Amino acid sequence: MSKTIRSLSALTAVVLLAGAASFAQSSGEAIYKAKCQSCHGAEGTPNPGIAKAMGVKPASDPSVKSMSEAQMIADTTNGKGKMTAFKGKISDAEIKASVDYFRTLAK
């Protein structure tokens, strides 16, 4: 009986850790989809109307690709142009995670 309990406990721990790891890996994507996708597009390419009205450039634009991670984090935190500031709305870790995800969209 004791061996069964230990086996089930170990299995439970493995499942919980795997779930936590998969959540951590997708948190940037989830935040991006919830907070950024409506303007920046699902794949980092805004729709033409938003791009023109808001001045949003695609993730693949050379001027966006040349921005440092620190600059993107600062712009997301404090806002830039017509983009709202996210300071106080989401955590610094969530801002960094969403920026990291956005940078993966630059193809």
Q: Give, as one character, the DSSP assignment of residue 67.
A: S
pLDDT in tens, the chain (107 residues): 576 666 555 556 555 555 554 444 569 999 999 999 999 999 999 999 999 999 999 999 999 999 999 999 999 999 999 999 999 999 999 999 999 999 999 97
pLDDT of residue 18: 53
Calculate the dihedral angle through the C-alpha atoms of 18, 89, 65, 58, rounding to the nearest 10 degrees: 100
pLDDT of residue 107: 77
Calculate the dihedral angle through the C-alpha atoms of 53, 59, 60, 66, rounding to the nearest 10 degrees: 110
pLDDT of residue 1: 56
Question: What structural domains and CATH numbers belong to the chain?
Answer: 27-104 (1.10.760.10)
d(CA 39, CA 21): 28
Q: Which pTM was predicted?
A: 0.74
